[in-house]
Chain A
Amino acid sequence: QVQLVESGGGVVQPGRSLRLSCAASGFTFSSCGMHWVRQAPGKGLEWLTIISYDGSSAYYAGSVKGRFTVSRDNSKNTLYLQMNGLRPEDTAMYYCAKQKTIVAVTDYWGHGTLVTVSS
């Protein structure tokens, strides 16, 4: 069955960097676009970024463009999110999500990893 397991979250000071990982299994990772979505405590969902199945293209929400970088290693079935210049407002649960093969919606999500930006 499809499994997505995020890791790398934790407490980090403002201005510092963090890299999140998402280990995928149970499907052909190299055939699927992948997304990162976050949710601040008690708030709604915020889409962050999508990377194409082969890593050749990526798109970002304006709130993270230029600070966050998505990448993937299809040989390791792993998705990454490099987060630089972190701000207190980046505090959230970060989810990775798999895109359906033929439709650009996310059909499976991980359980999330919590990032807290605080001094």
Chain B
Amino acid sequence: DIQMTQSPSTLSASVGDRVTITCRASQSISRWLAWYQQKPGKAPKLLIYGASTLESGVPSRFSGSGSGTEFTLTISSLQPDDFATYYCQQYNSYSFGPGTKVDVK
């Protein structure tokens, strides 16, 4: 099984900050990686797939990079609507990372 890890588990930031979340896979997954945003009481929302392809309708302040085993999600300028939990998922065998909660500093 492919294990996914994320760091940090919690990130405290302010509006306007540049935010970076890292996701690592236990073995190479090429670019089969997606990022989701989840707010309390809501279903996850797809942000990025193929490691760097922005889903339609997702603001351009979100970007993704990486390949193989190490990936990053970057929010270039954090907005009030971005405080949420972010999950990576590899879609070779579909496991999720444990999540990164972005909260108010």
Q: Which of A97-112 contact B (CB under 8 A)?
A: 100, 103-107, 109-112
Interface residues on B, range: 20 to 34
Which B residues touch A104, using CB under 8 A? Answer: 32, 91
A47 and B89 form a contact (CB under 8 A): yes
List residues of chain B with CB within 8 A of the CB of A46.
96
- Of residues 73 through 105 on chain B, the ones whose CB sits less than 8 Å from some CB of chain A are 87, 89, 91, 93-99
- How many cross-chain pairs have Cβ atoms below 8 Å apart between A and B? 50
Which residues on the B side are within 8 Å of A59 (C-beta)?
93-94
Q: Is the interface of B mostly helix, strand, loop or mixed?
A: loop
How many residues of A sit at the interface, in one of the four size bands? 20 to 34
Nearest residue (CB) in B for A62 is B1
Can you spell out 6 A-B residue pairs with CB atoms less than 8 angstroms apart? A44-B96, A45-B44, A45-B99, A61-B94, A104-B32, A106-B34
